[in-house]
Structure 1
Amino acid sequence: MKVNVKNIKGEDTGKSVELIDDIYAIEPNDHAVYLDVKQYLANQRQGTHKAKERAEIAGSTKKIKRQKGTGTARAGSMKSPIFRGGGRIFGPRVRDYGFKLNRKLKKLARKSALAYKAKDEKLTVLEGFNLDAPKTKSFLEILNALSLQNEKTLFVLEGANDNVFLSSRNIPNAKVVIADKINTYEIMNATHLVISEAAVEKIESMFNTKVAV
């Protein structure tokens, strides 16, 4: 699959890159994508919720009434969950929501997400670029040139670039990531995927796939 390379002005450079079929033209596996996204979202949860149970309530354990002859149920202490101020029954406890997935499945999920973007023609390959200084205005000009100002866009770079990262930080519908840090959730959450020319090769090497020449 050949894709034309554009520059930051939105113009064709006359160059093209070959997106290998082993990544961008596979049959997407929806279940793998679902599991990987589910794991990502689960890992974002803090799990620090906690409600006090009967044993953790501060208060007297004195028996509040005699056991028999009241016509009501037995009651041992005010800590009982049936009384106001008592412990909570089956309340939330501190827990970790994360779960494990096989590396092969996560790899398949990311490839499926990339394949979806290529299939929907929501993938742009951008010529390598750099910004002289961190300026939001400069990054907005790039988005406007690519006609992506109103779309949720994920930029994938080959390596860390502070100027580009800082320039995009104040734009709510744009995000910049490094190629080896991409994940299924961010790819699927973005409307459009913009990959730098050098990042294409890095992604292919990341999947241990021979780079097409």
Structure 2
Amino acid sequence: MKVAVLDIKGKETGRKVDLSDDVFAIEPNNHAVYLDVKQYLAHQRQGTHKSKERAEIVGSTRKIKKQKGTGTARAGSIKSPIFKGGGRIFGPRPKDYTQKLNKNLKRLARKSALSIKSKEKAIVVLEDFSFDTPKTKDFVQVLKSLGLENKKSLFVLGDSNNSVYLASRNLRGSEVVTSSELSTYKILNANSVVLLEGSLEGLQSNLNK
């Protein structure tokens, strides 16, 4: 699949790159995509939720009233969950939410996500660029030139580029990652995926293993 390469002004450079059909034109596997996105979202959870139960509450241990003759239910401790300030019944406890998926399934999910974006014509190939100084306004100008100013965009770099990353990090709708950091969730969450030329070889070779 041939795709034109654009410059940072949004104009065609006259060059075209060949995107592998094995990565950008497969029949999407929706279940693989579901499992990978589910794992990504699960890993965002810290799992540090905790509430104190009866045994962890600090309070008096004396019996607060006599056992019989009060006409009410017996009560042995002020730390009982039925009293204000008492422990929580079956409260949340720390939990590990990590899930395991094999590498082949994750590769299939990423290829499926890229193929979905390719069918939607939401993939742009951009020539490699950098900034002399990382300024947000320069990155915004690139977004304007590509027609992505008010859209969610994902820029995929071949190698880490500090100037591009720093120029983009103040923008909520845009994210810059390297090809090794690419995930199914990030691909699907973006309206447009911008692939820099330098990322294509590594991306395609990694997903075709």
- Under a length normalisation based on structure 1, what TM-score does the superposition of the two structures give? 0.93
For residue 175 of structure 1, report the CA deviation from its aligned partner: 1.0
Cα deviations across residues 2-50 of structure 1 (Å, max 9, x unaligned)?
A: 1111111111111111111111111112222122112111111122221
Q: Which residues in structure 2 correspond to 1:1-213 (within 5 Å)?
A: 1-209=1-209
- The one-letter code of the counterpart of 1:5 is V
Offset, 1:82:
0.8
- Secondary structure of 2:208's aligned partner: coil
Distance 1:68 1:136 in 2: 74
Distance in 2 separating the partners of 1:173 and 1:203? 23
User: Which runs of 5 or more structure 2 residues have no equivalent in the other structure?
Assistant: none
Letter in 2 for 1:7: D
Q: Give the CA deviation at 1:74.
A: 2.1
- CA distance in structure 2 between the aligned counterparts of 1:86 and 1:171, rounded to whole angstroms: 45
Stretch deviating more after TM superposition (42-51 or 63-72):
63-72
Q: Is the 8 A contact 2:28 2:115 kept in 1?
A: yes
- Give the drift of 1:157: 0.6
Q: Which amino acid aligns with 2:28?
A: P
- The SS at the match of 2:133 is coil
1:40-90, CA deviations, whole angstroms, 9 ceiling, x for partnerless residues? 111111222211100001112212222233332222211111111110101
How many angstroms apart in 1 are the aligned matches of 2:153 and 2:93? 37
Q: Per-residue CA shift, 1:179-209, capped at 9, x if unaligned?
A: 1110111111110000011211110111235
Structure 1 unpaired stretches of 5+: none
Alpha-carbon separation, structure 2, partners of 1:96 and 1:41: 13
Counterpart of 2:116, as a letter, is: Y
The answer to whether the Cα contact below 8 Å between 2:23 and 2:208 also exists between their aligned partners in 1 is: no
How high is the sequence identity, in percent, across the aligned residues?
61
TM-score of the superposed pair, with normalisation by structure 2: 0.95
Distance in 2 of aligned mates of 1:83 and 1:142:
61
Give the residue type in structure 1 aligned to 2:40.
Y
Q: Matched residue pairs, number?
A: 209
Write the deviation string for residues 89-138 of structure 1: whole angstroms up to 9, x where unpaired.
Answer: 01111222222122222111111111111010000001121222211121
Partner Cα separation in structure 2 for residue 208 and residue 192 of structure 1: 22
Partner Cα distance (2:139, 2:162) in 1: 13
Secondary structure of the residue aligned to 2:107 is helix
In structure 2, what is the Cα distance between the partners aligned to 1:208 and 1:191? Answer: 24
Determine helix, strand or coil for the equivalent of 1:4.
strand
Equivalent position SS for 1:156: strand
Moved more, 26-35 or 121-130: 26-35
